[in-house]
Structure 1
Amino acid sequence: MGEKNILAYFKSPEEAEGAARKLQALRVVDLSIDRFSKYPGEGYDPLNPITGKISSLAAVTQDGEITNPSAGILAAADPAASGMSHGGQGGPTGHDILLTVVVDESSHHQALRIIEEVGGIT
């Protein structure tokens, strides 16, 4: 039989890990959990704002690690930079954790049910 892949989105790593534990019973072929963002970088390295060494407004307001001036300008133009948006880490939905799973074709529908039962969006 063939394999099927599933991309599922969660609000927290703990939710995705819970789904992953349940999916292991299906003998998954491959599984990964990652956080994604619409901004570049791996996280925020806080600097003292008094010194003026801030890469971008987005670095302060959106926890972005902006390493390119053009990306900083683009990110600072986002409504979330003003503090007037409730976009959160993962945007308006808050689902910024991605569970990627590859399962055998015979257990694909069962895997989808497990993911939806624990709060994932496919």
Structure 2
Amino acid sequence: MAERNILAYFHAPEQAEGAAMKLRALRAIDVSVDRFGRYEGTGLRSVMNPYAGDFGSLGSLTQAAHVSTPDEGILIAADPAASGMSDGGGGGVTGLDVILAAVVDESIYEQALRVIDGAGGQV
């Protein structure tokens, strides 16, 4: 039997995990959920006071970026989102930073797409 690949984007990990559970119940061959961002890194691991704390750059503080050089930190801090004033502009899709990747049998492909759509995902 043929296999089909699906990449779907969600607003929240809970939505993607719910869809993943249903896809596994449908006997999907492989399903994974992950979060991604514009910059490398996993973000701050603890709460800190930016006035007293020691942080490398505005990019690491606001963008959850791993900043390896001062120049990189300056460039990331220049992003409009670093100010906290960005609305995502440009009319693009924003806030879809959770990805579900699945491999399903072709016989359940359409049903899998309906499961993802019902969970709030976008393919």
TM-score, scaled to structure 1: 0.85
Q: CA deviation at 1:74?
A: 2.1
Q: Is the 8 A contact 1:41 1:67 kept in 2?
A: no
Do residues 97 (structure 1) and 76 (structure 2) align? no
Q: Distance in 1 between matches of 2:18 and 2:115?
A: 10
Identity %: 56
Q: CA deviation at 1:22?
A: 1.2
Q: Distance in 2 between matches of 1:99 and 1:61?
A: 25
Structure 1's 41 and 48: CA in aligned 2 closer, same or farther, altered over 3 A? same
Q: Distance in 2 between matches of 1:58 and 1:92?
A: 22
Q: Distance in 2 between matches of 1:86 and 1:62?
A: 14
Q: Distance in 2 between matches of 1:121 and 1:92?
A: 10
Partner in structure 1 of residue 18 of structure 2: 18
Partner in structure 1 of residue 111 of structure 2: 110
Q: Is the 8 A contact 2:23 2:31 kept in 1?
A: no
Q: Distance in 1 between matches of 2:93 and 2:110?
A: 28
Query: Number of residues paired by the alignment?
Result: 119
Do residues 41 (structure 1) and 52 (structure 2) align? no
Q: CA deviation at 1:26?
A: 1.6
SS in 2 for 1:34: strand
Q: Distance in 2 between matches of 1:42 and 1:25?
A: 30
SS in 2 for 1:99: strand
Q: Distance in 1 between matches of 2:41 and 2:72?
A: 10
Partner in structure 1 of residue 27 of structure 2: 27
Structure 1: segments with no counterpart, 5+ residues? none
Q: Distance in 1 between matches of 2:34 and 2:26?
A: 21
Do residues 82 (structure 1) and 77 (structure 2) align? no
Structure 1's 57 and 68: CA in aligned 2 closer, same or farther, altered over 3 A? same
Residue deviations 1:44-67, cap 9 Å, x none? 145554457321111222233323
Structure 2: segments with no counterpart, 5+ residues? none
Q: Distance in 1 between matches of 2:63 and 2:45?
A: 12
Partner in structure 2 of residue 63 of structure 1: 64
